[in-house]
Amino acid sequence: LPADATPLEKTKYNICQNILRYQRENHLSDKEIAKRINLTQAETEDILFCRIPYFTLDRLMTYASQIFEPLEVKVIQAKSKANIPHSNPRLSLKNGVKARKNLRHLKHGITRNIIKSVVKRLDGEDLKSRKRHEIEENMTHNAKTIEELFTNAASLRISQKQRGDDRYKRDAGLAHNLKEDCQTLARFFDDVTELKNAKVKLTTFNNQEEFENNKQSLLNKVNQALSGLQMKTGDDFRREVEALKVDIERVAYSEAKELQKLNQEERKLQKEIEENERKAREKKKQLKSSNLGDNFSPDKHINDFMQAIKDKLDNKPPRRKKQPTSPNNVNLPGGSTSPNTPNPLDPFKPNTSANQNFFQNNQQLIMIAGLAEIKNKLGETTEQIEATIAPLYTNLES
């Protein structure tokens, strides 16, 4: 935007900047923006590159209303009428400078923002947590993923290159090798990640010559990683890589041979343990006693027993004939006291044999009550069942 721009041009410029800001914050491509405002690809690029002479203020406000919320559109309209810029031009220039700096780092093969995230994942607080192995397993470094991180920042420069814009030539085409640099970064991160398998590689050999070759290959990868970490954000990671290099250099062939032998013995023992467990499971299936008690179900038998007692009670037996009573002869009436008559010596005291006859006549009912109580206690411990049965036996005996 020229320094002598009119208020109308400044307003139109700020509207274009807001649309561009919306695209970057929501990570939208030029095609997605064009689809939302119903424009061609070329017209959308004119808006994103702030080619304000091609659009009137009303047209720009219409495009903005299709993207922003109604309240935001009202704010833009109010500020445009008052000729107040909607955003700070200095802030926009600052963001542009920051994007160009990122692209410069990308051109040299190392991107500061990506290094920060990778260092945090490889050497930062996340690795010190309990989920370190999960982070390492989920790490994926490919050129496409890295390129997506810089698509928004580099889309402007790539579009300038495609159109042959003069500004792209003046800035030396900072994004001309974006894809190549992303591939370089992906290879670098993959090589660094492979260093965590240094112990496995050092113990995978058949002779001393193969061991020395593996060791030298690891040292070469370490040196490549150290040469790539030439910025302040990689200091912690660099120290860890240097410590790994020292550890690799100290490993002797005899020590690696011993470690390889121990690993083989460990794998052999592990296989033997698994084989013994398999044999034990098969032998257990063959033994009859292994299923002891699995098919024993006392609930069904107790239910059958209680049902049999209930059926017996339904068919009541005939009452016993009363014996004639007589004071002197048992065959004469009134000869003896009936079980249910009061004691002649104490008419208010019933005969004690009545209580005995009660328990005798109701013995089956008491048994049913006891069995029902036992059934309710089947799920409890043996001590609790015995404590429940003991009073029942006491009542029966009394």
pLDDT in tens, 16-44: 777 777 777 777 777 777 777 777 777 77
Give the whole-angstrom CA distance, residue 20 versus residue 43: 13
CA dihedral (364, 369, 371, 373) in degrees, to 10, reads -170
More confident residue, 133 or 284: 284
Number of CB atoms found within 10 A of residue 142's CB: 15
**pLDDT at position 160, please?**
53
What is the DSSP code string of 55-114? S-HHHHHHHHHTTS-HHHHHHHHHHHHTT--SS-HHHHHHHHHHHHHHHHHHHTT--HHH
**pLDDT at position 383, please?**
62
User: What percent of the chain lies above the pLDDT cut of 70?
Assistant: 39
Place of tokens 């113990």: 203
Read off the pLDDT of residues 260-316 as tens digits, 9 standing for 90 and up: 888 888 888 888 888 888 888 888 777 665 565 666 666 766 777 777 777 776 665
Residue 365: pLDDT band with limits 50, 70, 90: low
Is the pTM here over 0.75, yes or no?
no
Residue 111 has pLDDT above 50, yes or no: no
Distance of CA 365 to the CA centre of its chain: 60
Give the whole-angstrom CA distance, residue 296 versus residue 320: 43
Average pLDDT taken over every residue of the chain: 64
Residue 207: pLDDT band with limits 50, 70, 90: confident
**pLDDT at position 163, please?**
56
Q: Which residues contact 143 (CB under 8 A, 6 or more apart)?
A: 179, 182, 183, 185, 186
What is the DSSP code string of 251-288? --HHHHHHHHHHHHHHHHHHHHHHHHHHHHHHHHHH-G
